[in-house]
Chains A and B, each alone.
Chain A
Amino acid sequence: MKADAHRQRALRIEASLARLGAADWEMRIEAAMLAGTHWANCALHRHGVAPEAEDIVHTSMLVVNTLRKYAIVEPDLLRDLGEIEELRPLYVRGDVPGGAAAADRAVALLAAIRARAERAGC
């Protein structure tokens, strides 16, 4: 996808995320993952390190050396996205107590990811 299309998709997801409440922790975490991944792709495309035909789906699914390459230009953004992804097994696919607080953390990480992506020109 083109960088600007990622930005537009992330903004749509964030607008829907704003309508969710504390009891919707699974989708708040998933929204952070989905929007955060679009911001990450936008930033990587803007940096020129990833072509528009080469999008991340999950950082955990990347070849290690590809993740290392991307982390040269956006280490903090990718670390934050990885932290969101680590919340999913426990609170989205699992029933560990503390889902609402985990979702708050995911949304805070998303805000940091967006700020970094915008600094990259998104």
Chain B
Amino acid sequence: MRIASHLEKFQRLASLRARLDPLDDFELWYWTTLTAGTNALNAVMHAVGLTSDDPVFSTIPGVHMVRQADGSYARALRGPGDVSHVGWPPVEGDAPPDLRDLEHALEAIETHRDPCLRGDRAPSAAIVAECDAAFARVRAVLEGRCGRLA
């Protein structure tokens, strides 16, 4: 997806994240944080030239939704575009230090995904604080590469 679209989604999701209560709405607060972070990851990977920002949309690794001549969308085999998670799919090439920092921050957020969303771990202030700190690192890297965001 185009960098501009990733940035637009990041800003809208970051705004929503601020409207949700981190504990009362933990599940959606967390998922909003993760989704915004993944948009930041893809924007930066496109910006540094590791992946393509073609306007096709990821499903499983190697398969994207591609616009057809009649305006509909269909699955097609494609090379590296948007990733769904850090390392899924793996992308060849050397990531610069700021991108690696973003990836580590996103991995710190992802640590809580299955235990808290699909398991029995209760959200806590400590988990919220950890996600907040990681999200600040994500935003800093994104803004360093793509400019200051509102």
Chain A interface mostly helix, strand, loop or mixed? helix
**Is A101 located at the chain interface by the 8 A CB criterion?**
no
Knowing A90-B73, A95-B1, A95-B2 are in contact, say whether A27-B13 is a contact too (CB < 8 A): yes
Classify the interface of chain B: helix, strand, loop or mixed: mixed
CB-CB under 8 A from A31, the residues of chain B are 28, 31
Instruction: Tell me, yes or no, whether B55 is within 8 Å of chain A by CB.
Output: yes
Residue among B1, B20, B55, B118 making CB contact with A57, cutoff 8 Å:
B118
Q: Is the CB of A27 within 8 A of B55?
A: no
Contact yes or no, B65 A94, CB < 8 A: yes
Complex interface: chain B residues within 8 A of A19 (CB): 19-20, 25
Task: Let me know if A95 and B5 touch, CB within 8 A.
Answer: yes
Chain B residues, Cβ within 8 Å of A1: 118-120
For A15, A16, A31, A57, the residue with the greatest tally of chain B CB atoms inside 10 Å of its CB is A16
Q: Is residue A24 within 8 Å, beta carbon to beta carbon, of the partner chain?
A: yes
CB contacts under 8 Å to B, within A32-62, are 34, 55, 57, 60
Whole-angstrom distance between the Cβ of B140 and the nearest chain A Cβ: 23
Interface of A toward B, CB cutoff 8 Å: 1, 5, 9, 12-13, 15-17, 19-20, 23-24, 26-27, 30-31, 34, 55, 57, 60, 89-90, 92-96
